Chains A and B, each alone.
Chain A
Amino acid sequence: MKIRVQFHGVLSDWMGGAKAEVSLPEGGTFGELLMEIKKRFSPTMPSQLRIKDQATFNRALWGMRGKDRLSELNAELKEGDEVQFFLSLAGG
């Protein structure tokens, strides 16, 4: 299945673009999406965003589906889902 992914703010620089499409097997999860993103975009990410040897990222990386934050790695995704990624870093 295809999952549409959107990277906001500085993430779009680090991922080489604001939009991407990621293929996952049917019933794929948010955790698998993160693994796929990590695999594909690792070379351009700052090391602070990655957590070495883990599928997960720095906890500041938020994925949102619609109005809801995807906080569980085992959250199931479905064909056509759009996941928006932000950095939950604020100040000023």
Chain B
Amino acid sequence: MKGYHGRLLEVDLSARKITDLPLSEEFLKKYIGGATLAAALVYERMGKNGSPLAPEKPLVFATGPFTGSPLPMVSRYAVGGVSPLTGFWGEATSGGRFPFRLKGSGWDGLLVKGKAERPAFLYLKEGEAELRDASHLWGKDSYQTQKAIKDELKDDSASVACIASAGEKLIKFAGIMNDSGRAAGRCGLGALMGSKNLKAVAASGNLRPELANAEKVRELARQAVATINGNLVSVAFREYGTMMYMDMAMTLGDAPAKYFTKSIFPVSKITGQALRQAYTVHNYACLGCPIGCGRELVEFKPGLNVDGPEYETTVAFGPLCMNTDLDSIVRANHLCNVHGIDTISAGVSVAYAFYLYEKKVLKKDKVGFALKWGDGKAVVKLVEKIIAQKGIGKILSQGTLAMAKEFKRSPDEAAQVKGLEMPMHDSRAFHGMAVSYATGPRGACHLKGDYYNVDLGNMVLEYMILPGERLSSEGKSEGAAKYQSLKDLFDSLTLCKFAPLPPTQLCEMLNAITGWQFSPKELLAAGDRSINIKRAVSNKLGLTREQDRMPRILTTALDEGTAAGVEPDLEKMLRGYYQFRGWDWNTGRPTRERLLELGLNQVAAEMYP
């Protein structure tokens, strides 16, 4: 087998037992790696019932065939399991150095089950793995934990993925942090890790699987670097990171404001340029990335460097709360990094609190202070309350769907899909996003697929995914489904979604690494399979078509900006999407025929006994 170690580390925390879980080439060819591989394993092992935090529920960390290879932008890993936030399939990905080290430790990833009697952390190094006590680390924040573990191991090359207080307290949108402020943030998988008393995973080493055609891989790496450097997006991201998009986002009505009810705000105060003018900004690059879209603010306060913020976070704690105080946005982001919290779910929940306050549902005595739109200090205070699990913070930390229930509001007011909070790309500005969000494998996800990029002009000719009129719901279903499958594959391979590489190039890379013979058509089928295995996990957990919807607050026509006056026609797009996917309109499940076509025979047998 080439390109893989062909094994995961299987850890039973209850029994303190560590074994190898062999992965066959047939299995890997079907599920590739990363989040897809995680979904296939979770499907097999999750059982039918029980809380997402039940000890037997598996938590999978997985790299892909690209990870650790000479290719650029491939130091990525995925975490997968049943989401404590949504109750359905949950996944999150992150970059940095950890993925490279995880693969270099001699495994393709790890599967964790059970619950440790006392807090523990795992140390993987070049074929050796041990479970170590983490009692002394419990309570430490994400930065302290990473440093303490490296010091304890006396291993400077080790990289650490860990939880902080949010994961320990089982906050439903707790994330997993690695390499300072990199986050596998979404779906609350930090809480799943916390429920297992697993504080961290430290990985070290340089064990690289053999490549099928090493010379070809190096040549493809050179070509990819040239493609990436020749692409305008790389130049722009290098300059200002993802905040580069801020002006354009507001002009297009893509950046939501005032809890998804507005789209105009004083954008010049929170652009990438404003950030650079206000602070000393350094670029951060994941290992092997020629772009470096990450930001580090040097001496944000005396002696304190902080990571980020990125576009999503800036909008969530910014215009979504009508807040343009950059300092408070940076502070809120830093708090989330330190305590291991998903900034999107946190920001949307905070913005919902402002909305409820304006509606006089939330009162000052309940909050402890006034919530006036635009008050940056109040934004930070609410984040602090979430972290401390005090007062209103405890309610906010359940997410918007639970907040709506708590305050007896319509679920149509909760800005989420399947319980996962809405990211900062508005489907009223790009109608194709509505069907992407409604059907996203983990809930409201702007990455799978980022269809706004298609209607901005980024076509994929091999799959005939072509740009269209952004404010129209016509002809979007098939393109959205294909693009979702393609972008889902990025998390299988594993490759950064900012890598502007076409499917033909991806196939060449995969084939040179593994020795397989994937065509672009087969690659897309692998993406379809990935979407379907994740769907099968969620179907097993009770998902139906009822959950493939967007709440009204996210689709009601805006009254300002360039996207004003139009609403996406979700049902129309959804029908086309179901037809293309081969999903049953009545049950929300893949049809038996579709599952068999994709080689998901076991799933078909269980779903249609």
Contact = CB atoms under 8 A, between A and B. Distances in A.
A88 interface: yes
Pick from A9, A67, A91 the residue with the most CB of B within 10 Å: A91
B239 interface: yes
Given A9-B273, A46-B232, A91 B251 contact: no
A90 B230 contact: no
Contact of B245 (A46, A59, A89): A89
Contacts of A10: 235-236, 239-240, 244, 272-273
Contacts of A8: 247-248, 251
Contacts of B236: 9-10, 87, 89
Interface in B418-457: 425, 450, 452-453, 456-457
Contact of A92 (B239, B245, B251): B245
Interface in A1-55: 8-10, 12-13, 46, 48-49
- Which of B230, B244, B248, B456 lies at the interface centre, i.e. has the most chain A CB atoms within 10 A of its CB? B248
A91 B498 contact: yes
A68 to B, nearest CB: 8
B233 A86 contact: no
Contacts of A86: 247-248, 251
Given A8-B248, A10-B240, A90 B453 contact: yes
A91 B231 contact: no
A9 B242 contact: no
Nearest to A12: B273
B254 A90 contact: yes
Interface string B310-327: 111000000000000000
B472 interface: no
Contact of B457 (A13, A88, A92): A88
Given A10-B240, A89-B232, A91-B237, A64 B251 contact: yes
Contact of A91 (B271, B272, B311, B457): B311
Contacts of B237: 89, 91
B456 A88 contact: yes
A56 interface: no
A92 B246 contact: no
Nearest to A48: B232
B336 interface: no
B310 A92 contact: yes
A9 B562 contact: no
B240 A9 contact: yes
Interface residues of A, number: 22
Nearest to B564: A67
Contacts of B169: none
B497 A48 contact: no
B249 interface: yes
A9 B235 contact: no
Nearest to B248: A86
B248 A91 contact: no
B74 interface: no
A49 B244 contact: no
Contact of B450 (A49, A58, A64, A91): A91
Interface string B249-272: 101001000000000000000011
B41 interface: no
A89 B251 contact: no
Contacts of B233: 60, 89, 91
Nearest to A88: B456
A88 B251 CA distance: 11
For B247, B249, B293, B312, the residue with the greatest tally of chain A CB atoms inside 10 Å of its CB is B247
B331 to A, nearest CB: 19
A92 B312 contact: yes
Interface in A54-92: 58-60, 62, 64, 67, 84, 86-92
Nearest to B245: A90
Contacts of B241: 92
A46 B245 CA distance: 18
A10 B246 CA distance: 10
A3 to B, nearest CB: 18
A90 B232 contact: no
B456 A90 contact: yes
Interface in B452-468: 452-453, 456-457
Contacts of A87: 232, 236, 244, 248
A59 B457 contact: yes
Nearest to A60: B232
B459 to A, nearest CB: 10
- Looking at B233, B310, B498, the one whose CB has the most chain A CB atoms below 10 A away is B233
Contacts of B251: 8, 64, 84, 86
A49 B311 CA distance: 22
Contact of A9 (B234, B244, B310, B457): B244
Contacts of A9: 236, 240, 244-248, 271-273
B76 to A, nearest CB: 15
B517 to A, nearest CB: 32
A84 to B, nearest CB: 7
Contacts of A60: 232-233, 456-457
Nearest to B446: A92
Contacts of B245: 9, 89-92
A12 B244 CA distance: 12
Nearest to A90: B245
A92 B244 CA distance: 10
Contacts of A67: 562
A46 B235 contact: yes
A8 B274 CA distance: 12
B288 to A, nearest CB: 18
A13 B453 CA distance: 23
B453 A91 contact: yes
With most chain A CB atoms within 10 A of its CB, the pick from B230, B236, B241, B242 is B236
Report which residue of A12, A13, A59, A88 has the largest number of chain B beta carbons within 10 angstroms of its beta carbon: A88
13 contacts: A9-B272, A10-B244, A48-B235, A60-B232, A60-B457, A86-B251, A87-B248, A89-B236, A90-B249, A90-B453, A91-B450, A92-B311, A92-B312
Closest 9 CB pairs of A and B: A92-B242, A92-B311, A8-B247, A88-B456, A86-B248, A48-B232, A89-B233, A9-B247, A67-B562
Interface of A: 8-10, 12-13, 46, 48-49, 58-60, 62, 64, 67, 84, 86-92
Given A58-B232, A88-B457, A89-B244, 13 more contacts: A10-B236, A10-B239, A10-B244, A48-B230, A48-B231, A49-B232, A64-B562, A86-B247, A90-B254, A90-B452, A90-B453, A91-B293, A91-B450
